[in-house]
């Protein structure tokens, strides 16, 4: 799908964003192995999370997706052998978390994915699971992964990289392991703690019991409109009901350092058009905003001065190589930007011009470019824009609702 994006010079109003994708994945998985029926409000029914749900259904889990999503838990040892490979689609979260869940089962399973997912690194999750006793066959440590159900043992594991997915896979496997498992983050507080918090919510270390869950709006989805508001919302833009877990909100730190006018009230974020100035992102801040770096580069492109991003080598291993993708596409828009091994250097402040853009089949690249094009001079086209369905199916319907003429 190719979409045309017409620039705007003003937005205002308020919006809510879809439920948090990371929490939706984890809530569904833990509900599946809890006892009883878990009711979830705010569950995100996007392509990635539905990959998780559909895999759980193949494991015998009944799931009703709607305004209130109901997951009928089968208990810790109640999952059924799948009759065919479990298709994780484009979702790395689905594949890595299910690898942990399935490693300690009494049956075998196979995890597959689309062409993009088959290129993404799985060694990072295979290695600790094999230390626990898992038996996993893969093709050059990439999908598909053939998992032989095994008896697992607890481990004391030092994370070699910042990855909430790997940490979560180990924690899920530990539910089936003999002995204690301890996971040490590379640096405390630098990876998302949704799995730990949800385990507590379900009653761990006691047997997991069904619970009601309210999932807040996804900060990563809100991030696109935070930046758009800083560029165009002279009279303010409010994003409501946003999850503000401190392991997710490094972008706010970075944007405030640039001079962004951002106010937090409860779970609402109010942003106003701001004169942004360059800042630097280092290895300490990058992990706290790794998914938001693509949209941060848009703010940097409009900011006065030179912004340097470092400590973000992980961007090369996402749905696309996001360092290369953002560098090539922002160059088309007239931005003076160069790639480095672990980030980018962006010389901002010059007007952006319309261009023919490509999402690289990456939902975060697509939405970041759409925001840039909305604030550029001249119309743009965005090729392969349908990838946004992975996380934010209604994204392109939101901006028109925010572009009322201020004189009306």
Cα 113–Cα 118–Cα 124 angle in degrees, nearest 5: 105
pLDDT exceeds 50 at position 297: yes
Q: Which two tokens stand for residue 13?
A: 């109003």
Whether residue 402 contacts residue 237, with contact meaning beta carbons closer than 8 Å, is answered with yes
pLDDT tens readout for residues 23-36? 999 999 999 999 99
pLDDT exceeds 90 at position 335: yes
Give the Cα separation of 305 and 288 in Å (integer). 23
> Which pLDDT score, from 0 to 100, does residue 139 have?
87
Closest CA to 326 of 309, 311, 306: 309
pLDDT exceeds 90 at position 186: no
Provide the sign of the torsion angle of the four alpha carbons 92, 88, 221, 170, taken in this order.
negative
Closest CA to 363 of 319, 332, 400, 317: 319
Averaged over 372-380, what is the pLDDT?
Answer: 97
Is 291 annotated in the active site?
Answer: yes
> Which pLDDT score, from 0 to 100, does residue 404 have?
56
Inter-axis angle of helices 21-32 and 47-58, to 10 degrees? Answer: 10
**Phi and psi angles of residue 363, each rounded to the nearest 5 degrees, phi first:** -60, -40
Closest CA to 171 of 103, 247, 117: 103
When pLDDT is cut at 50, 70 and 90, the band that residue 298 belongs to is very high
> Which pLDDT score, from 0 to 100, does residue 82 have?
98
Averaged over 86-90, what is the pLDDT?
Answer: 97
pLDDT exceeds 60 at position 390: yes
Please, what is the average pLDDT of the chain?
95
Give the Cα separation of 156 and 71 in Å (integer). 32
Please name the helix (run of DSSP H) or strand (run of DSSP E) that holds residue 63, with its range, or none. strand 62-64
When pLDDT is cut at 50, 70 and 90, the band that residue 61 belongs to is very high
Question: How far, CA to CA in Å, does 19 sit from each of 23, 234, 317, 404?
Answer: 8, 27, 24, 26
> Which pLDDT score, from 0 to 100, does residue 231 have?
98
Q: Which two tokens stand for residue 246?
A: 């401190």
pLDDT exceeds 70 at position 406: no
Closest CA to 60 of 44, 42, 75, 39: 75
pLDDT exceeds 60 at position 84: yes
Direct distance between the N- and C-terminal alpha carbons of the chain, in angstroms, rounded to an integer: 33
**What CATH code is assigned to 21-214?**
3.65.10.10
pLDDT exceeds 70 at position 372: yes
Whether residue 95 contacts residue 111, with contact meaning beta carbons closer than 8 Å, is answered with yes
pLDDT tens readout for residues 188-240? 767 889 999 999 999 999 999 999 999 999 999 999 999 999 999 999 999 99
> Which pLDDT score, from 0 to 100, does residue 407 have?
42
Averaged over 29-58, what is the pLDDT?
Answer: 98
Closest CA to 19 of 397, 399, 394, 396: 394
How far does Cα 368 stand from its chain's mean position?
14
Q: Which two tokens stand for residue 285?
A: 């801040």
Whether residue 291 contacts residue 334, with contact meaning beta carbons closer than 8 Å, is answered with no
pLDDT tens readout for residues 340-363? 999 999 999 999 999 999 999 999
What is the value of pTM for the model shown? Answer: 0.93
pLDDT exceeds 50 at position 20: yes
Q: Which two tokens stand for residue 284?
A: 């300490």
DSSP at 351: P
- HSE-up (13 A, CA, CB side) for residue 90: 15
Whether residue 244 contacts residue 289, with contact meaning beta carbons closer than 8 Å, is answered with no
Q: Cβ contacts of residue 27 below 8 Å, gap of 6+?
A: 38, 40, 43, 71, 198, 213, 215
Among 20, 48, 218, 291, which one carries the catalytic annotation?
A: 291
Closest CA to 289 of 332, 258, 261, 334: 258
Superfamily of domain 3-18+217-402: Enolpyruvate transferase domain (3.65.10.10)
Whether residue 240 contacts residue 267, with contact meaning beta carbons closer than 8 Å, is answered with yes
Averaged over 45-57, what is the pLDDT?
Answer: 97
Q: Could you give the residue range(s) of every CATH 3.65.10.10 domain in the chain? A: 3-18+217-402, 21-214
Residues facing residue 177 across a β-bridge: 152
């Amino acid at each position: 799908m190719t979409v045309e994006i017409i620039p705007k010079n003003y937005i205002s109003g308020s919006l809510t964003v879809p439920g948090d994708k990371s929490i939706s994945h984890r809530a569904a998985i833990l509900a599946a192995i809890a006892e009883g029926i878990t009711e979830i409000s705010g569950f995100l029914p996007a392509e990635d999370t539905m990959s998780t749900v559909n895999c759980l259904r193949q494991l015998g889990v009944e799931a009703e997706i709607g305004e209130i999503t109901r997951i009928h838990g089968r208990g810790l040892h109640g999952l059924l052998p799948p009759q065919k490979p479990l298709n994780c689609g484009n979702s790395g979260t689905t594949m890595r978390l299910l690898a942990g869940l399935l490693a300690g089962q009494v049956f075998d399973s196979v995890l597959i994915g689309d062409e993009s997912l088959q290129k993404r690194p799985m060694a990072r999750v295979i290695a600790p699971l094999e230390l626990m006793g898992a038996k996993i066959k893969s093709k050059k440590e990439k999908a598909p992964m053939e998992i032989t159900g095994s008896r697992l043992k607890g481990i004391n594991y030092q994370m070699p990289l910042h990855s909430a997915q790997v940490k979560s896979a180990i924690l899920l496997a530990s539910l089936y392991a003999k002995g204690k498992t301890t996971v040490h983050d590379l640096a405390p507080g630098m990876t998302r703690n949704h799995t730990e918090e949800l385990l507590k919510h379900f009653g761990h270390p006691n047997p997991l019991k069904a619970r009601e869950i309210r999932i807040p709006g996804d900060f990563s989805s809100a991030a696109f409109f935070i930046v758009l508001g800083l560029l165009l919302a002279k009279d303010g833009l409010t994003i409501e009901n946003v999850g503000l877990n401190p392991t997710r909100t490094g972008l706010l730190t970075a944007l405030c350092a640039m001079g962004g006018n951002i106010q937090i009230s409860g779970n609402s974020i109010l942003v106003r058009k701001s004169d942004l100035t360059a800042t630097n992102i280092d290895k300490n801040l990058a992990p706290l905003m790794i998914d938001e770096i693509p949209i941060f580069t848009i703010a940097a492109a409009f900011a006065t001065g030179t912004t340097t991003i470092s400590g973000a080598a992980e961007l090369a291993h996402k749905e696309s190589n996001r360092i290369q993708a953002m560098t090539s596409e922002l160059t088309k828009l007239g931005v003076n930007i160069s790639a480095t091994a672990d980030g980018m250097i962006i010389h901002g402040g010059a007007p952006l011009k319309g261009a023919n853009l490509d999402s690289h089949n990456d939902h975060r690249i697509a939405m970041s470019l759409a925001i840039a094009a909305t604030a550029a001079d001249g119309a743009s086209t965005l090729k392969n824009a349908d990838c946004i369905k992975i996380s934010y199916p209604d994204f392109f319907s939101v901006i028109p609702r925010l572009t009322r003429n201020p004189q009306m």
